[in-house]
């Protein structure tokens, strides 16, 4: 009966693992991506309503001209503008919305990677606690024998027993912490995710000027530029406003011009801010690159030493605990390398996003 239960549990574990996706696969299934896809389709469909409204404005102007409805100059101008520009304005508005959707997706990706970093760190700590427990257990087993042989005192034996209990508690807490982060990721993404390190992207960066060339793509710059394109569509209809001499038309024109100038100032300020963000992101990547490369070199050297120690252990020349102590050092360095690698990749991704609509870099909490 016990064998059957073990087989069933093993099967369930394997079955569950088969549904765990890689981070890349899980990010493709982010709810916000599917929501934005549907929203984009709705935005496109809404253009038909704008076209209908243009026809309505055209019909109104024809009726007004034919029957002399006494419509004010301001109202006629509004309808003329609506007839001629509504569709183009809606298309420009959809461009702004599309950028907003992309920015939200970027923020979600960076946010998920931030939580994944915490899960990866928790996994490393849990694995490290396994090694500490193995050392404490070996020390305890040895203490039991030494106590029987009279080589140590009861007090020394109890010390090892306490150390074992403490190691077991740390391991249990580390496991709970790790499982908690896995659960948070599953809830956030709607799927189970495999917690695994990434290979660092150590290929050279382009020059800083290369990334700065993308400043104009950021939504903080592009959105007010598109808004001004919308305003420019109206300007030509106000060219003869001095001939009309209408107070409402004058006010409407002044409001448009004020908004246009405000957008110009916003564009200038956004370019300066975007340049600083890109510089920060660029130098963060460079610093993390150097840190990751150094950890990689140190880990490689420790890999070689660990191989030698394992050979000595297999030959019976060193105790298991001595090997385990080196494994602990190796695991600590490996954990640091994995976290640095993941952080490097995240920062590189944020830098690339900064040359498109924007990475939500400052809000991401990338460490």
Q: How far apart are alpha carbons 224 and 263 in whole angstroms? A: 5
Residue 243's pLDDT band, with cuts at 50, 70 and 90, is low
Token pair 């059957």 is at which residue?
Answer: 4
- Above 90 in pLDDT, residue 346? yes
The reported pLDDT for the residue numbered 187 is: 92
C-alpha to C-alpha distances, 36 to 99, 217, 227, nearest whole angstrom: 11, 20, 21
Q: What percent of the chain has pLDDT over 70?
A: 91
CA 106 from centroid of its chain's CA atoms = 6
Helix (H, G, I), strand (E, B) or coil at 323: helix
Residue 296's pLDDT band, with cuts at 50, 70 and 90, is very high
- Above 70 in pLDDT, residue 216? yes
More confident residue, 17 or 342: 342
- Above 50 in pLDDT, residue 334? yes
| Mean pLDDT, residues 158-168 | 96
| Mean pLDDT, residues 302-331 | 95
| Residue 301, C-beta contacts closer than 8 angstroms, at least 6 positions apart | none
Q: How many helices (H) and strands (E) does the chain have?
A: 11, 0
| Mean pLDDT, residues 146-167 | 95
Q: String of b and e for 73-111 (b: at least 16 CB within 10 Å)? A: ebebbbbebbbbbbbebbebbbebbbbebbbbbbbbbbb
Of 2-6, 35-39, 275-279, give the lowest mean pLDDT range.
2-6
C-alpha to C-alpha distances, 293 to 208, 289, 299, 331, nearest whole angstrom: 20, 6, 10, 17
Q: What percent of the chain has pLDDT over 90?
A: 72
CA 276 from centroid of its chain's CA atoms = 20
- Above 90 in pLDDT, residue 86? yes
- Per-residue pLDDT tens for 25-79? 999 888 898 899 999 999 999 999 999 998 998 988 888 888 887 888 888 888 9
Cα–Cα–Cα angle for 129, 134, 140, nearest 5°?
A: 125
Residue 153's pLDDT band, with cuts at 50, 70 and 90, is very high
> How many other CB atoms are found less than 10 A from the CB of residue 171?
21
Q: How many Cα atoms within 13 Å fall on the side-chain side of residue 149?
A: 8
Supply the pTM of this predicted model: 0.82
Residue 240's pLDDT band, with cuts at 50, 70 and 90, is confident
Helix (H, G, I), strand (E, B) or coil at 186: helix
C-alpha to C-alpha distances, 309 to 302, 331, 333, 338, nearest whole angstrom: 10, 15, 17, 23
The reported pLDDT for the residue numbered 244 is: 67
The reported pLDDT for the residue numbered 241 is: 65
Q: What's the CA dihedral at 135, 141, 147, 153 to 10 degrees?
A: 20
Give one DSSP letter per residue of 237-258, joined into a string: GGTTHHHHT-HHHHHHHHHHHH
């Amino acid at each position: 009966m016990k064998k059957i239960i073990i087989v069933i549990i093993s099967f369930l574990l394997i079955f569950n693992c088969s549904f765990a996706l890689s981070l890349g696969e899980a990010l493709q299934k982010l709810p916000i991506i599917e929501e934005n896809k549907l929203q984009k389709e709705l935005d496109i469909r809404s253009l038909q309503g704008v076209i209908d409204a243009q026809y309505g404005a055209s019909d109104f102007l024809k009726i007004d001209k034919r029957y002399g409805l006494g419509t004010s100059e301001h109202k006629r101008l509004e309808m003329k503008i609506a007839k001629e520009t509504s569709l183009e304005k809606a298309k420009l508005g959809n461009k702004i919305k599309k950028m907003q959707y992309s920015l939200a997706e970027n923020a979600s990706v960076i946010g998920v990677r931030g939580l994944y970093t915490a899960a990866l760190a928790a996994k490393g700590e849990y694995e490290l606690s396994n090694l500490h427990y193995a050392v404490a257990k070996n020390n305890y087993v040895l203490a039991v024998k030494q106590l029987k042989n009279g080589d140590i005192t009861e007090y020394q034996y109890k010390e090892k027993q306490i150390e074992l209990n403490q190691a077991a508690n740390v391991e249990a807490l580390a496991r709970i912490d790790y499982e908690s982060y896995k659960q948070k990721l599953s809830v956030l993404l709607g799927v189970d995710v495999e917690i695994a390190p990434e290979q660092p992207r150590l290929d050279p960066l382009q020059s800083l000027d290369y990334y700065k060339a993308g400043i104009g793509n950021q939504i903080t710059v592009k959105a007010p530029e598109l808004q001004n394109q919308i305003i420019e569509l109206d300007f030509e209809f106000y060219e003869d406003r001095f001939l009309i001499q209408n107070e409402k038309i004058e006010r409407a024109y002044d409001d448009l011009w004020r908004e246009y100038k405000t957008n110009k100032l916003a564009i200038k300020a956004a370019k300066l801010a975007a340049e600083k963000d890109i510089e920060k992101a660029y130098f963060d990547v460079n610093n993390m690159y150097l840190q990751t490369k150094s950890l990689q070199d140190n880990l490689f050297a420790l890999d070689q030493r660990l191989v030698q120690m394992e050979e000595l252990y297999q030959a019976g020349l060193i105790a298991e605990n001595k090997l385990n102590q080196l494994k602990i050092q190796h695991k600590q360095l490996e954990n640091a390398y994995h976290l640095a690698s993941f952080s490097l990749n995240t920062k590189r991704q944020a830098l690339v996003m900064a040359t498109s609509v924007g990475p939500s870099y400052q809000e991401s909490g990338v460490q």
